[in-house]
């Protein structure tokens, strides 16, 4: 038996013993997903237990180094862990912007002290992070951010406004892009700052989405005191970190479906609401053709994401390829959700308005429209690809 086989057997046994029965099922509601943080209320004792047990082993962030609260697992071992979790339908113990985005950026650019301070708290689900990038005047043109940080010697005084800050009202800390070098060129004047959302001068105001929920906020900073040591990497190097972090965000968004449940619902919904003809085919040939096109594209994307994972595991950085995955994944998810609503007909269009999306067809459909906007729009992804991959000439 190879050491990987051994690892698989041990993992299987450990999961069998430690994963609570209640945590072995598909995600069907928003509350099934544990985001952690100071204000988190666990949905159940099982959810709490599951997080604690997994965090204890560092398996909420299995690939991170042990000294920072991770599991220290190799790429192959992480893959086995995921497979074994899937085998018993185990829910993810913890999801968060800390895991998806800030963690990888800190691992690459943070100081040892910053890593020791922040990563274990992310791993244990103690601190929940939000992302302060976009501003009212700076969306796609993110490097134009105007929120300013005035140098006061041992700290900055940060003032300005962010917008679309997902879960800002629930988060404990924020990573934000702040212009700290007013005289430097556009891309060179930004620093990547970390600060506590309970700091004096921070306030948030929720924004309601078309899908009914209010997951994101306007976030205001009024002379917020941020210690100098909370700058990640060098002052003025924030854009580099911001872009690196975005590659992780984009990779994650390309595969949202894996976290929030698959397409099985589409096929079931179609058969249930339309029925089959005498040859056993869906009794709506035009919808059937659209579903068929979708199905093939979904298989292609699945293969492509798996190939990207292998590429990653082999130690490569995705770089501009994350734009490719983000574009394909989010456009496909929009098609999926639109087909679900088409298949479900009026049934899919009824139901409570107040819903996060998960487990509600119309809310999921509406929410999916944001996929090709958040983390950089599809148009911006295509521009990145034409410039960085195809090397076509560009204006800027």
Partner 1 sequence: MLLPEEAGGYDFGHRAAGLVAEEMGRNLTASPFLSTAVLSAIALRQAGGEHLSEWGPKIAAGEAVMALAIDEGAKHNPSRIKATAEPDGNGFILNARKRAVFDGYNADRLIVAAKSGDETCLFLVDPSAAEVDVERNAMLDSRNAANIQITNLHLDGKDLLCPLDKGTEVLEATLRSGRAISASEQLGVAREVAERTTAYLNERKQFGVPIGMFQALQHRMADLYCQIEETASLISAALRSIDTTSDSAEELTRAAKAKVAKVSRLATEEAVQMHGGIGMTDEVDVGLFMKRDRVLTEMLGDSAHHIDFLLKRRGL
Ligand X SMILES: Cc1cc2nc3c(=O)[nH]c(=O)nc-3n(C[C@H](O)[C@H](O)[C@H](O)COP(=O)(O)OP(=O)(O)OC[C@H]3O[C@@H](n4cnc5c(N)ncnc54)[C@H](O)[C@@H]3O)c2cc1C
For residue 134, give the DSSP letter: -
In the complex, the smallest distance separating the C-beta of residue 334 from ligand X, rounded to whole angstroms, is 12
Q: Which does 164 bind (CB under 5 to 8 A by kind): partner 1, ligand X, none?
A: ligand X
Q: Which stretch binds ligand X (CB under 6 A): 11-19, 28-36, 158-166, 256-264?
A: 158-166
Q: Which residues form the interface with partner 1 (CB under 8 A)?
A: 267, 270-271, 276, 280-282, 288-289, 291-293, 295-297, 299-301, 303-304, 306-307, 324, 327-328, 379, 381-383, 385-386, 389-395
In the complex, the smallest distance separating the C-beta of residue 390 from partner 1, rounded to whole angstroms, is 5
225 close to 200: Cβ distance less than 8 angstroms: yes
Q: Decide whether 131 or 180 has the Cβ nearer to ligand X.
A: 131
Residues 161-190 that bind ligand X (CB under 6 A): 164-166
Output the CA–CA distances (angstroms, integers) from residue 37 to 95, 130, 173, 296, 336, in the order listed.
11, 11, 9, 39, 32
Among 134, 333, 337, 368, binds ligand X (CB under 6 A): 134
Helix, strand, or coil (residue 296): helix
Q: At what angle do helices 321-348 and 285-313 cross, to 10 degrees?
A: 150
Among 13, 379, 389, 394, binds ligand X (CB under 6 A): 379
Q: Decide whether 226 or 381 has the Cβ nearer to partner 1.
A: 381
Q: Does 62 bind ligand X (CB under 6 A)?
A: no
What backbone torsions phi and psi does residue 108 show, to the nearest 5 degrees? -85, -40
Quick one: 79 exposed, middle or buried, by C-beta within 10 A (0-12, 13-18, 19+)?
middle
Residues whose CB is less than 8 angstroms from the CB of residue 213 and which lie 6 or more positions away in sequence, other chains included: 354, 355, 356, 357, 363, 367
Among 40, 321, 376, 384, binds ligand X (CB under 6 A): 376
Q: Does 35 bind ligand X (CB under 6 A)?
A: no
Q: Does 368 bind ligand X (CB under 6 A)?
A: no
The residue count for binding ligand X (CB under 6 A) is 19
In the complex, the smallest distance separating the C-beta of residue 327 from partner 1, rounded to whole angstroms, is 6
In the complex, the smallest distance separating the C-beta of residue 358 from partner 1, rounded to whole angstroms, is 23
In the complex, the smallest distance separating the C-beta of residue 309 from partner 1, rounded to whole angstroms, is 11
DSSP states of 166-213 as a string? Answer: ETTTT-SEEEEEEE--TTS-GGGSEEEEEEETTSTTEEEEEE--TTS-
Q: Does 140 bind ligand X (CB under 6 A)?
A: yes
Residues whose CB is less than 8 angstroms from the CB of residue 340 and which lie 6 or more positions away in sequence, other chains included: 265, 266, 269, 348, 361, 364, 365
Among 47, 60, 96, 131, binds ligand X (CB under 6 A): 131
Q: Decide whether 144 or 273 has the Cβ nearer to ligand X.
A: 144
155 strand-pairing partners: 227
CA distance 358 to 265: 12
Residues forming contacts to ligand X in the complex (CB under 6 A) are 131-134, 139-140, 164-166, 216, 370, 373-377, 379-380, 383
């Amino acid at each position: 038996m190879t050491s990987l086989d051994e690892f698989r057997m041990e993992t299987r046994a450990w999961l069998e013993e430690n994963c609570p029965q209640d945590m072995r099922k598909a995600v069907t509601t928003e509350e099934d997903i544990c985001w952690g943080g100071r204000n988190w209320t666990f949905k159940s004792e099982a959810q709490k237990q599951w997080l604690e047990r997994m965090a204890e082993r560092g398996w909420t962030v299995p690939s991170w180094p042990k000294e920072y609260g991770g599991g220290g697992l190799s790429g192959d071992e992480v893959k086995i862990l995921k497979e074994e979790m899937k085998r018993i339908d185990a829910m993810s113990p913890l999801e968060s912007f800390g895991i998806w985005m800030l963690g990888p950026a800190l691992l690459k650019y943070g100081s040892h002290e910053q890593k020791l301070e922040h990563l274990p708290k992310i791993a244990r689900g103690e601190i929940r992070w939000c992302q302060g990038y976009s501003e009212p005047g700076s969306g796609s043109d993110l490097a134009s951010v105007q929120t300013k940080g005035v140098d006061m010697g041992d700290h900055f005084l940060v003032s300005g406004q962010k917008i679309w800050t997902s879960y800002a009202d629930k988060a404990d800390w924020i990573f934000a892009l702040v212009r700290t070098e007013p005289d430097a060129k556009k891309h060179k004047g930004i620093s990547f700052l970390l600060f506590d959302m309970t700091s004096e001068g921070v306030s948030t105001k929720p924004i309601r989405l078309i899908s009914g929920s209010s997951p994101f906020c306007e976030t205001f900073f009024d002379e917020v005191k941020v210690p100098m040591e909370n700058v990640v990497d060098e002052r003025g190097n924030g854009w580099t970190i911001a872009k690196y972090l975005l590659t992780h965000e984009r990779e994650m968004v390309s595969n949202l479906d894996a976290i929030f449940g698959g397409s099985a619902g589409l096929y079931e919904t179609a058969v249930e609401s339309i029925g089959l003809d005498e040859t056993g085919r869906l009794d709506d040939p035009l919808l059937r053709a659209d579903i068929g096109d979708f199905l093939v594209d979904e298989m292609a994307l699945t293969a492509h994401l798996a190939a990207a994972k292998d590429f990653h595991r082999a130690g490569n950085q995705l770089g501009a390829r994350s734009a490719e995955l983000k574009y394909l994944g989010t456009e496909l998810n929009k098609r999926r959700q639109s087909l679900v609503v088409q298949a479900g007909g009026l049934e899919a269009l009824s139901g409570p308005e107040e819903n996060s999306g998960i487990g509600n067809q119309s809310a999921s459909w509406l929410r999916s429209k944001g996929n090709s906007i958040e983390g950089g729009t599809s148009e911006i992804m295509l521009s990145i690809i034409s410039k960085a991959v195809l090397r076509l000439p560009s204006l800027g």
